[in-house]
């Protein structure tokens, strides 16, 4: 009986110590994960800023005109028309709106 | 004998042990009881670290969720001069990374201090290069830095945040209380190496980020407005320019462009004049654009009808011993033609028939002389004198847009009232506030301030203003396929040297809306001091036309005119 009590006592001490040690170990693990999370969040934010900068209308217009040789349509060249949806016409064109570039440059060039 | 010796040794040993235990016991009592309070404080100081944490500043996005301003954690570099062996060597290594001169860094590192900032809020890439150097006596802390990824776009509306993250101008300042993150002190447990184990108290939560703002601004419309305005200001060699695009039904600002622009990412080198939001702060004499409001007042009060005939006095009329001129010698013309041809004499006569009290009442009703209460800081009220302070010519002058100071936002708001059938809407720029988890915590509905004129009067005025664009001074504001209503303005500025109207300095403007029958856009263009030809119809009206056409196309607003087109249908 005495031996059993001592054994139970030792077990309780062991469990208590093990629990404390494990708490510290988990604490370190949590901190490491928090650091990883912070780094990833920082990278995500950096990338969001980059995406936003790269998708700026001014930059897209610059790339289109300077690198791709595109130009802004002249006045009157873009016409927005409303098309009514029709059940009989097989089409994959959106029924809502269609933008049409009007060809009014000399020699049929766009 | 040997037994007694052995017993003696045992006693000695016992005594030594007792003494040893006694010392330990004494030390224990001393530490745990006598010095307990003092040592406990010391232990806490070594094991616990109290840090001040602040949640990230909220993001600002446009109406489609495109990011206009956001915080990113970036490295700030500090030095510990007292621990450095060779400040000169450290400065040489740091200089190419921090882009700071070697002598300046060395001067800082030679100071007799234990902490000195070397560079704050660097680019993330600089931080990574610094990490690779791993220098002794140099440390890095992460701080939130405000980024404006679109550069100068919308800078005058967004404003900017200071080095410590507080909003200093624009939306950043107006919504500081919503944008800034929660500040809180947090107690952390440290181990023997100074590493954080976990916060004291597992229920401790990290500070929450600031709220995010959704603007009414559309990034694409803003870009179009800025590009066209910048182009017009450059071509006219003007001092500055302002353009406002708003939704007349709601008062929501779609774009607010000011030229010259500035980059909110680098404001330290600029003067405050550069970042002032002139659309809200600077009052100008509107000139003939005011005739649109005067016409609305006169028709509403049944003083005139669009077809009422007015004599143009062949271009000269004397009022209170001063002569009012027209730019052409007009005879009998209809009131609609008075506005279409922008006759000063016709406007003055109509204003005088309206009378000072009624004119003043309508000026107030249209919002002149008072703040629009737009949710941006620094708004001015313009200048509308009380009738008791008016001179003998004031009614005539105000009717043609002189002796009155208005801000561009007031004029845009008033034009919006003409466009939407006569209701003055409160202009606004923030439509939603969301918390850090994206939940909407406040939605800003459109607010009508008051009805200024009846829908019938608004309709009559619209017809007249359409004539300005089809047959009058504003033909260059026309947009192919759309009915445009608007009014030109060319106002002389006061010469500060003589105190009289200058013959060389003008404010050219155009204010209008499109499509006239169901307006989607109310816009105002103001060009300050254009060189050469300065007519509003020549300088400002083309900007209205170019922006209007592109924005209507972008919004998918179709033309009223029939279009013949061939469309190839594609089968999948």
State the Cα–Cα distance between residues B512 and B469, nearest whole angstrom: 10
For the segment B332-358, the average pLDDT, to the nearest whole number, is 95
CA distance B478 to chain A (A): 10
Give pLDDT, residue B182.
84
Rg of chain A over CA atoms, in angstroms? 35
Question: Is A33 touching B (CB cutoff 8 A)?
Answer: no
Q: Is the entire prediction scored with pTM above 0.90?
A: no
Q: How confident is the model at residue A109 (pLDDT cuts 50, 70, 90)?
A: very low
Q: Which of residues 288-347 of B touch A (CB under 8 A)?
A: none
Phi/psi of residue B169, nearest 5 degrees:
-145, 165
Beta strands in B420-531 (DSSP E): 423-425, 430-434, 440-443, 448-451, 485-494, 501-514, 521-528
Least confident of B5-9, B29-33, B146-150: B5-9
Residue B151 to residue A58, Cβ atoms within 8 A? yes
- Res. B189: pLDDT tops 80: no
H/E segment holding residue B273:
helix B272-275
Question: Is A74 touching B (CB cutoff 8 A)?
Answer: no
Q: Which token pair is B522?
A: 């109310």
Could you count the other beta carbons within 10 Å of the beta carbon of residue A71?
9
Contact pairs from chain A to chain B, CB under 8 Å: 105
Phi/psi of residue B314, nearest 5 degrees:
55, 35
Reported as a single tens digit per residue, the pLDDT across B464-509 is 999 999 999 999 999 988 999 999 999 999 888 888 888 889 999 9
- Res. B248: pLDDT tops 60: yes
ipTM of the complex in this document: 0.78
Reported as a single tens digit per residue, the pLDDT across B281-340 is 999 999 999 999 999 999 999 999 999 999 999 989 999 888 998 988 999 999 999 999
Q: How confident is the model at residue A35 (pLDDT cuts 50, 70, 90)?
A: confident
For the segment A74-93, the average pLDDT, to the nearest whole number, is 63
State the catalytic residue, choosing from B76, B209, B288, B342: B288
Distant-in-sequence, close-in-space partners of B295: CB < 8 Å, separation ≥ 6: B304, B335, B338, B339, B350, B461, B464
- CA nearest to A55 within chain B: B150
Residue A80 to residue B557, Cβ atoms within 8 A? yes
Give pLDDT, residue B271.
83
- Res. A46: pLDDT tops 60: yes
For the segment A39-46, the average pLDDT, to the nearest whole number, is 90
Could you count the other beta carbons within 10 Å of the beta carbon of residue A33?
10
The span from the first CA to the last CA of chain B, in angstroms, equals: 118
Write b or e for each residue in B349-373: b if 16 or more Cβ atoms lie within 10 A of its Cβ, otherwise e: bbbbbbeeebbbebbebbbbbeebe
* Environment class of A83 (CB within 10 Å of its CB; exposed 0-12, middle 13-18, buried 19+): middle
Give pLDDT, residue A1.
81
Distant-in-sequence, close-in-space partners of B405: CB < 8 Å, separation ≥ 6: B283, B284, B285, B382, B383, B384
- CA nearest to B560 within chain A: A81
For the segment A30-50, the average pLDDT, to the nearest whole number, is 90
Give pLDDT, residue B195.
65
Using CA of residue B158, residue B160, residue B164, residue B167, what is the dihedral sign?
Answer: negative
Q: Which token pair is B195?
A: 């590493």
Reported as a single tens digit per residue, the pLDDT across B208-232 is 889 999 999 999 999 999 999 999 9
Contact B422, B452 (CB under 8 A): yes
B229 against B10, higher pLDDT: B229
Contact B477, B523 (CB under 8 A): no
Residue B197 to residue A98, Cβ atoms within 8 A? no
Q: Rounded to 5 degrees, what angle do the CA atoms B351, B525, B554 make? A: 125
- Res. B85: pLDDT tops 70: yes
Q: How confident is the model at residue B65 (pLDDT cuts 50, 70, 90)?
A: very high
Q: Which token pair is B276?
A: 């002032």
Give pLDDT, residue A84.
62
For every residue of B63-132, DSSP letters joined together read TT--EEEEEEEEEEEEE-GGG-S-HHHHHHHHHHHHT--HHHHHHHHTSS-S-EEEE-S--HHHHHHHHH
Q: How confident is the model at residue A97 (pLDDT cuts 50, 70, 90)?
A: low
B288 is catalytic: yes
B140 against B293, higher pLDDT: B293
For the segment B187-207, the average pLDDT, to the nearest whole number, is 63
**To probe the interface with A, which of B68, B122, B197, B565 has the most A CB atoms within 10 Å?**
B197
CA B368 to each of CA B398, B415, B423, B506, B553: distance values in angstroms, whole numbers, following the listed order: 12, 12, 14, 21, 32
Q: How confident is the model at residue B194 (pLDDT cuts 50, 70, 90)?
A: low
Q: How confident is the model at residue A95 (pLDDT cuts 50, 70, 90)?
A: very low
Tell me the sheet residues that pair with B442.
B433
Distant-in-sequence, close-in-space partners of A108: CB < 8 Å, separation ≥ 6: none
Residue A93 to residue B569, Cβ atoms within 8 A? yes
Q: How confident is the model at residue B39 (pLDDT cuts 50, 70, 90)?
A: confident
Chain B residues whose CB is inside 8 A of the A80 CB are 552-553, 556-559
Beta strands in B158-308 (DSSP E): 183-190, 196-199, 212-215, 240-246, 253-259
- CA nearest to A101 within chain B: B565
- Res. A110: pLDDT tops 60: no
Give pLDDT, residue B563.
62
Percent of chain B with pLDDT strictly greater than 70: 93
For the segment B517-536, the average pLDDT, to the nearest whole number, is 94
Distant-in-sequence, close-in-space partners of B359: CB < 8 Å, separation ≥ 6: B294, B297, B351, B395, B398, B399
A9 against A100, higher pLDDT: A9
State the Cα–Cα distance between residues B118 and B550, nearest whole angstrom: 48
Question: Is A96 touching B (CB cutoff 8 A)?
Answer: yes
Residue B556 to residue A97, Cβ atoms within 8 A? yes
Q: Under DSSP, is residue B254 helix (H, G, I), strand (E, B) or coil?
A: strand
Least confident of B72-81, B348-357, B452-461, B466-475: B72-81
Report the DSSP pairing between strands A97-101 and B423-425. unpaired
State the Cα–Cα distance between residues B132 and B143, nearest whole angstrom: 19
Q: How confident is the model at residue A99 (pLDDT cuts 50, 70, 90)?
A: low
Give pLDDT, residue B123.
84
Domains and CATH numbers, chain B: 52-73+148-215 (3.90.1310.10), 219-555 (3.40.710.10)
Q: Is B342 left (phi over 0), alpha (psi -120 to 50) or beta?
A: left
- Res. B457: pLDDT tops 80: yes
Least confident of A88-102, B35-49, B206-220, B501-515: A88-102
């Amino acid at each position: 009986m005495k031996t059993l009590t001592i054994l139970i006592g030792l077990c309780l001490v062991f469990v208590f110590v093990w629990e404390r040690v494990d708490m510290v170990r988990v604490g370190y693990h949590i901190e490491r994960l928090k650091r990883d999370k912070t780094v990833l969040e920082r990278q995500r934010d950096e990338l969001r800023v980059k995406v936003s900068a790269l998708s700026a209308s001014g930059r897209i217009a610059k790339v289109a005109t300077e690198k791709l040789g595109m130009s802004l349509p002249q006045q009157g060249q873009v016409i927005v028309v409303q098309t009514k949806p029709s059940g009989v016409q097989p089409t994959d064109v959106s029924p809502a709106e269609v933008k049409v570039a009007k060809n009014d440059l000399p020699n049929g060039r766009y | 004998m040997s037994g007694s010796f052995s017993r003696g040794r045992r006693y000695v040993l016992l005594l030594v042990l007792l003494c040893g235990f006694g010392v330990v016991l004494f030390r224990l009592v001393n530490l745990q009881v006598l010095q307990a309070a003092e040592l406990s404080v010391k232990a806490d100081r070594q094991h616990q670290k109290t840090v001040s944490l602040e949640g990230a500043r909220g993001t600002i996005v446009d109406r489609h969720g495109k990011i206009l301003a956001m915080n990113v954690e970036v490295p700030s570099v500090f030095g510990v001069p007292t621990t450095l062996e060779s400040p000169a060597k450290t400065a040489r290594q740091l200089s190419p990374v921090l882009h700071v001169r070697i002598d300046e860094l060395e001067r800082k590192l030679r100071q007799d201090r234990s902490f000195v900032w070397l560079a704050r809020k660097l680019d993330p890439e600089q931080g990574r290069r610094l990490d690779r150097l791993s220098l002794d006596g140099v440390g890095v802390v992460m701080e939130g830095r405000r980024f404006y990824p679109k550069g100068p776009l919308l800078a005058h509306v967004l404003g900017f945040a200071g080095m410590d993250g507080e909003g200093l101008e624009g939306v950043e300042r107006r919504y500081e209380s919503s944008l800034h993150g929660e500040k809180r002190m947090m107690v952390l447990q440290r181990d023997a190496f100074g590493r954080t184990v976990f916060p004291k108290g597992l229920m401790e939560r990290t500070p929450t980020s600031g709220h995010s703002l959704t603007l009414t601004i559309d990034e694409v419309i803003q870009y179009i407005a800025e590009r066209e305005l910048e182009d017009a200001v450059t071509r006219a060699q003007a001092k500055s320019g302002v353009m406002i695009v708003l939704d007349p039904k709601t008062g929501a600002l779609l774009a607010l462009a000011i030229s010259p622009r500035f980059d909110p990412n680098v404001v330290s080198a600029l003067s405050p004049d550069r970042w002032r939001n002139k659309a809200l702060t600077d009052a100008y004499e509107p000139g003939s654009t005011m005739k649109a409001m005067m016409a609305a007042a006169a028709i509403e009060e049944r003083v005139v009808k669009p077809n009422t005939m007015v004599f143009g006095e062949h271009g000269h009329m004397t009022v209170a011993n001063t002569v009012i001129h027209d730019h052409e010698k007009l005879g009998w013309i209809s009131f609609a033609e008075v506005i279409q041809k922008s006759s000063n004499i016709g406007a003055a006569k109509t204003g005088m028939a309206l009378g000072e009290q009624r004119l003043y009442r309508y000026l107030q009703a249209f919002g002149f002389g008072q703040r629009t209460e737009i949710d941006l800081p620094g708004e001015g009220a313009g200048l509308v004198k009380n009738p008791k302070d008016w001179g003998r010519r004031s009614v005539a002058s105000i009717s043609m847009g002189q002796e009155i100071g208005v801000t561009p936002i007031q004029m845009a708001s008033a034009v919006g009232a003409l466009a939407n059938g006569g209701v003055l809407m409160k202009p606004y720029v923030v439509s939603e506030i969301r918390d850090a988890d994206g939940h909407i915590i406040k939605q800003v509905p459109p607010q009508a301030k008051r009805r200024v004129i009846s829908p019938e009067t608004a309709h009559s005025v619209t017809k007249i203003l359409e004539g300005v664009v089809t047959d009058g001074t504003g033909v260059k504001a026309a947009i192919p396929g759309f009915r445009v209503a608007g009014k030109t303005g060319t106002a002389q500025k006061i010469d500060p040297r003589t105190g009289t109207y200058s013959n060389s300095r003008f404010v050219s403007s155009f204010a209008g809306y499109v499509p006239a029958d169901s307006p989607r856009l109310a816009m105002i263009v103001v060009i300050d001091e254009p060189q050469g030809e300065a007519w509003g119809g020549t300088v400002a009206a083309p900007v209205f036309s170019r922006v209007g056409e592109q924005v209507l196309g972008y919004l998918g607003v179709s033309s009223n005119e029939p279009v013949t087109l061939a469309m190839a249908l594609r089968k999948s």
